[in-house]
Structure 1
Amino acid sequence: FLRRMIDQTLIEQEAKKAGVGVAAVKDEDAMAMIRDMLEKNNVSMQTYLKKLAAEGNTLENVKKEIKGQILRMRLLRREVQSRILITDEEIGQYYDQPRQDYEGKEAVHIKQIFLPAPAQADKMTRERIKNQARELHQRILNGERFEMLAAQYSKGPAAAEGGDIGFVERGIIVPEVEKEAFSLPVGQISNVIETDLGYHILAVVDKRGAGLKPLPAVRDEIKAKIEDEKVAKKYDEWIDGIRKKSFIDVRL
């Protein structure tokens, strides 16, 4: 903890020398990061403020800490990241290492219309929902767009995107739906599939087989990994150099 505090102070000093002080980081930047964090965790600002108060902390302290993080990243880009070069040869060598990270699994790209009907629902309710699913299925067969019906009626994931779930591998979705998805040809519409969750209608968009992903497909991913490794190494060298040339007076 003490080392982290010292490093943060040294970084702030270096930032000032480089003309990138904490004052240059706007409150709006810190608040944007806080709001993004809360949104991802489905936490309201009011709940978060209460939590901070219970911990004896304040929003101002959090903003100050985040400003320090933003400052560190800006300085990192300026002093470290901008000096990093990644060659095609390095990417190729990384790709030729043990390749389990790039072994693609069999997957199917599906769109789904899902009408929930819990198993504990009474028989009449399930039958009503099943009939609704059958009607939607028939409308698709009659030429209505799957995406429009999914957006209007589906209660499943990605309904707003026309039910487009994207590629899914085996073992991800419920067995009954998985069996149908992987057995149907591309371009086909499934029958109504009944599960304990409800009723599903699938559209199979595309399929891909298992095997090694080609280099172009994973090039950006590999480049990012190499960059992360180089940045971490360069940062350690950079901060170590700053420590060595700085006078640190620790008073406990």
Structure 2
Amino acid sequence: MIVGLKYFSTLALLASLCLSGSWAVAQPPGIAFSDVELPSEPTAMIANVDGVPILLRDVAETVDNNIQQIIASSGRKPSPEELKMARTTLIRRELRKEIQGKMMYRAFVRKMTGTQPEDKRAEMELSITSNVRKMFYEQQLPQLLEQYKLETVSEADAMLRKSGSSLEQQERRFVESILGQEYLRGEMDKDPEIPLPDMKFYYEQNTEKFSRNARARWEQLTVLFSRFETKQEARDAIIRMGNEAYYGGNVQAVAKRLSQEPLADETGGLHDWTNKGSLASDILDQQIFSLPVNKLSQIIEDDNGFHIIRVLEREEAGMLSFADAQDEIRKILKENIQQEQQKNLITELERKIPVWTIFPDDVPKSMPLESAAVASAETKSLR
């Protein structure tokens, strides 16, 4: 997925449809309803980017698999009309992403081969992509085989074909993704300078982001009433634990052996930074944020049992200072700048890279792809 461009997740969109009890689809941002019919043939061309076709199967695989997963998990089966509308909407969304990814890939190829004679460009393009294909078979394919417990390349290809994909298709996507991202890295400022006044302005305009709740870290010993026949037996047990921790000086060692708090045998009763008001026990919460730091408490009783705690660190609620917030602000502003750079870069590519699609309203500067419902893409060197 292209960083900085905001799209709904296919699964999230489908899940929201099921949860609402309706498959009436709200269009994702930037996509209006269309009367265009999707082709039925998987090899039908639905877009062409700088001479490289995009087939229906290139985007339908992800959508169809996700639709089936959501139907199976939700138990809500849409009507044929609802399913058609949902599928068309989601395929349009995936197609827009596919087109943008392919534009970046083609921009990289143009950049690397543009100075070559026309009869040498295809040869150079093949040389560039062959190195990335090698990465696919050395890095991605072994992971695929391990993930699905497969032994051979043919087994992997057969498994992918069952879901409407293929090893060749996965290889192509890998090549285009790697080279497209390489184009982005080459065109964008990796480390834009953030002036101090800009950071100060952001801090002053977003004070709510830098407010901090009171929080604390502590160690805890616990006995649960449910483990004892009488409350006195539970009290005797917590006293023994407290004495051992006090005279031995190691609360966590005692907690690992004896404390009855869940996971105490792993954590040693250590609780990392926790915000005030987030504990289920109001009594413990109150004590943690009022007791002296680094001192064992008296026995604390709540509804579940007896506890002894030692607060290790505590911070009061307040605003993070500008000095302490600078690293976070710098990171946020850098990401904002890079997102804007990428948005501008995509806009520039839309002007430079020719695109034909059956949904020209979805991609600025694109042209309609005539007769796409029956057109079958010719095989190209990269497919």
- How high is the TM-score relative to the length of structure 1? 0.71
Distance across 1 between alignment mates of 2:166 and 2:303:
45
1:176 maps to what in 2? Answer: 283
User: Relative to 1, partners in 2 of residues 1:188 and 1:242: Cα closer, same or farther, differing over 3 Å?
Assistant: same
User: Relative to 1, partners in 2 of residues 1:187 and 1:70: Cα closer, same or farther, differing over 3 Å?
Assistant: farther
Give, as a single letter, the amino acid of the residue that structure 1 aligns with 2:329: I
Per-residue deviation, 1:147: 2.8
272, 276, 279: which one aligns with 1:166: 272
Aligned residues: 235
Per-residue deviation, 1:97: 1.5
Distance across 1 between alignment mates of 2:142 and 2:291:
45
Contact 2:228 2:234 in 1 (8 A): no
Moved more, 81-90 or 136-145: 81-90
Per-residue deviation, 1:145: 1.1
Please give the per-residue CA displacement for 1:49-90, whole angstroms capped at 9, x wherever unaligned: xxx99x947796789767866665554443224162222222
1:40 maps to what in 2? Answer: none
User: Relative to 1, partners in 2 of residues 1:113 and 1:33: Cα closer, same or farther, differing over 3 Å?
Assistant: farther
**Matched position secondary structure for 1:177:** helix
Give, as a single letter, the amino acid of the residue that structure 1 aligns with 2:297: S
Contact 1:107 1:170 in 2 (8 A): yes
- Aligned residue runs from structure 1 range 216-235, under 5 A: 216-235=323-342
Give, as a single letter, the amino acid of the residue that structure 2 aligns with 1:5: E
Per-residue deviation, 1:130: 5.5
Give, as a single letter, the amino acid of the residue that structure 2 aligns with 1:215: F
2:203 maps to what in 1? Answer: 95
Moved more, 98-107 or 67-76: 67-76
1:5 matched to 2:115? The reply is no
Please give the per-residue CA displacement for 1:135-176, whole angstroms capped at 9, x wherever unaligned: 222211113312333444555468645443232222111212
Distance across 2 between alignment mates of 1:91 and 1:195:
46
- Aligned residue runs from structure 1 range 144-163, under 5 A: 144-154=249-259, 155-156=261-262, 160=266, 162-163=268-269
Per-residue deviation, 1:213: 1.1
**Matched position secondary structure for 1:78:** helix
Per-residue deviation, 1:132: 4.0
Distance across 1 between alignment mates of 2:322 and 2:142:
36
Contact 1:113 1:156 in 2 (8 A): no
Moved more, 139-148 or 173-182: 139-148
1:238 matched to 2:345? The reply is yes
Give, as a single letter, the amino acid of the residue that structure 2 aligns with 1:167: W
Per-residue deviation, 1:30: 5.7
- How high is the TM-score relative to the length of structure 2? 0.50
Distance across 1 between alignment mates of 2:333 and 2:284:
38
Per-residue deviation, 1:185: 0.6
Contact 2:217 2:314 in 1 (8 A): yes
Contact 1:111 1:164 in 2 (8 A): yes
2:300 maps to what in 1? Answer: 193
User: Relative to 1, partners in 2 of residues 1:139 and 1:95: Cα closer, same or farther, differing over 3 Å?
Assistant: same
Distance across 1 between alignment mates of 2:327 and 2:352:
37
Distance across 2 between alignment mates of 1:225 and 1:235:
15
1:105 maps to what in 2? Answer: 213
Distance across 1 between alignment mates of 2:279 and 2:346:
47
> Which blocks of at least 5 consecutive residues in structure 2 are unaligned?
1-92, 113-127, 149-158, 358-368, 373-383
> Which blocks of at least 5 consecutive residues in structure 1 are unaligned?
35-44, 47-51
Percent identical residues: 19
Distance across 2 between alignment mates of 1:137 and 1:97:
49
214, 233, 247: which one aligns with 2:321: 214
Moved more, 73-82 or 203-212: 73-82
Per-residue deviation, 1:6: 0.3
